[in-house]
Chains A and B, each alone.
Chain A
């Protein structure tokens, strides 16, 4: 079991990350939260401080994670605040407008930068630190969309696919150092990021459910985790449809 007593959260103000932070606080953790929006981060930190007990510590910093030159400084600040780091969760990301990305190379590259390159940059730095301390867990939020390219969102899918494969390789590398890398693949989650969708179907999960699944998976040091669990089955089917058929489907 991995301890999650001192945790850094990147992209902390996303709905899934914020619920994860609350649940970690309920379990006695101290947290360092990094978010992009000052107002949202401040509101979140105030909330976590109200929920925390006196011997738990909560702080954070505002940062644009697409600026990878800041990553080292952020991790240093977090480690200095927490004393030591048991776990890291990387949760930042956007849901690109696929149609717009098809028309605009700059926009497409921006989305890849945010959803893939900034994540693997962080992972590179974190991996070396965890490898040295020979314990800990890194959780990365990828997506079921990264399992197979589909016309409706392959820019997002490609970025998440990169994150999944990078994390898979890292998991392989760090296994001998007693460090777990957990790839989290949420299905449809009812968050502001998906505000435009009709959420009446049975496949939609609440962010607090997904957050509970993330904490469990990180504690157990699991590998690829689909949340909720039934997405594993759905993605097995989707991954195994022969390409000749798949390319004609409108998914």
Chain B
């Protein structure tokens, strides 16, 4: 059986069978080995979308729209529709996804299952807050229509439920009105972590979208230096710039990671030195929200061994201290990350029992897979996260311990009562056994 990988290409495991869904009402063949797990476009990291013991149900063939109301901004579609396909349909009608992650190649089903978040979490919450309804198919043949106020416990279990409560057959999303496809974006440089906190606090009150990029190799006084990007959807314009799109591709697997100490240091330095626009400027939504989508198969730059993503959230009281400790540890190991992203979540409670977003600060990093050396660093980071009462993001994890998962997701046992007996993932088996 062919290997199906998640985005960071780790772990390399094969399912017992792969079944391509094309008809959302089809009955699954009896011969398919259980447990099942839905697999969308393979944009999550690690093994939340992988199984070794059962069958992957490939949902990308369920990519049909069912209804779109351009007056109310409500779209209903099958789970394999990508966020990019939703945007292509709704942006010309003056609508946008209220919450979007950093790739438009994620599917709607995956966005629900991981309760993804965007740069505007402090303003609108996460993806789950904008899900009006969905239909959940259970392996016993029953079907549950879920809304926040109808089968609400199933709704809360499935939002961020890592695909374990069954198969989402359709979902209905509330969109957000926009004037045009453009963003007004401001960028500001900050020379260390202390400056970040000040700038970020200010930006959060004035801008719906904020995110910071950090040079995680900088040490000492420059620790945590970076660039803060604040944005909002552009006002109606008489003169919008022409759209420039260029798609590039990483055409082959380099034999080793192109991300190494040398290229990292150079990249991080250059990125920090880039010209900033404190007065702001217009940017099309695609390069603003999805900069890496412009390079098809960018995950290949890490070579065949793949890479680890590490995304944690730290509660507000511990945020400043723990973030500093995380950056110190990373810099000490010299295992820098290509893109280190820092963002503060808002106070809106997530709807899902297992949702990752919660009040606090989230730091996301990726590290080329250098085996034990990388894993040792990640374990050191785990200690800081755990002591600060934080949690790691399951949708980006290939290695967290069961202990860390269970402490970060106190509702996990309640949640497990909603798991379909014939669904599981390698992730779930790993963190609960």
Interface residues of A (CB under 8 A from B): 15, 37, 39-40, 43-44, 46-47, 50-51, 192, 195, 198-200
Contacts and interface: CB of A to CB of B under 8 A. Distances in A.
Contact of A50 (B20, B23, B61, B66): B66
Given A15-B22, A192-B20, A195-B18, A43 B2 contact: no
A50 B22 contact: no
B22 A40 contact: yes
A192 B61 contact: yes
A91 B65 CA distance: 22
B25 A47 contact: no
Give the interface size bracket for B toward A.
10 to 19
B65 A47 contact: yes
Contacts of B22: 15, 40, 192
Given A37-B23, A195-B20, A46 B65 contact: yes
11 contacts: A39-B25, A40-B22, A43-B23, A43-B64, A43-B78, A44-B64, A46-B64, A47-B66, A50-B67, A195-B20, A198-B2
B147 interface: no
B68 interface: yes
Contacts of A47: 64-66
B139 to A, nearest CB: 19
B64 A199 contact: no
Given A50-B66, A51-B65, A43 B24 contact: yes
B89 interface: yes
Contacts of B68: 50
Given A39-B23, A43-B24, A200 B2 contact: yes
B2 A50 contact: no
User: Which secondary structure dominates where chain A touches chain B?
Assistant: helix
Given A15-B61, A200-B3, 6 more contacts: A43-B78, A44-B64, A46-B64, A47-B66, A50-B65, A50-B68
Contacts of A43: 23-24, 64, 66, 78
Contacts of A50: 65-68, 89
Nearest to A50: B65
Contacts of A199: 2
Contacts of A46: 64-67
A40 B2 contact: no
Contacts of B23: 37, 39-40, 43
Contacts of A15: 22, 61
Interface string B1-36: 011000000000000001110111110000000000
Contacts of B20: 192, 195
B58 to A, nearest CB: 9
B38 to A, nearest CB: 16
Per CB-CB distance, the 8 closest pairs between chain A and chain B, nearest first, are A47-B64, A50-B65, A198-B2, A192-B20, A50-B68, A195-B20, A47-B65, A40-B23
A46 B291 CA distance: 32
A192 B18 CA distance: 11
Nearest to B67: A50
A58 to B, nearest CB: 12
Contacts of A39: 23, 25-26
A200 B12 CA distance: 14
Contacts of B18: 195
Nearest to B170: A43
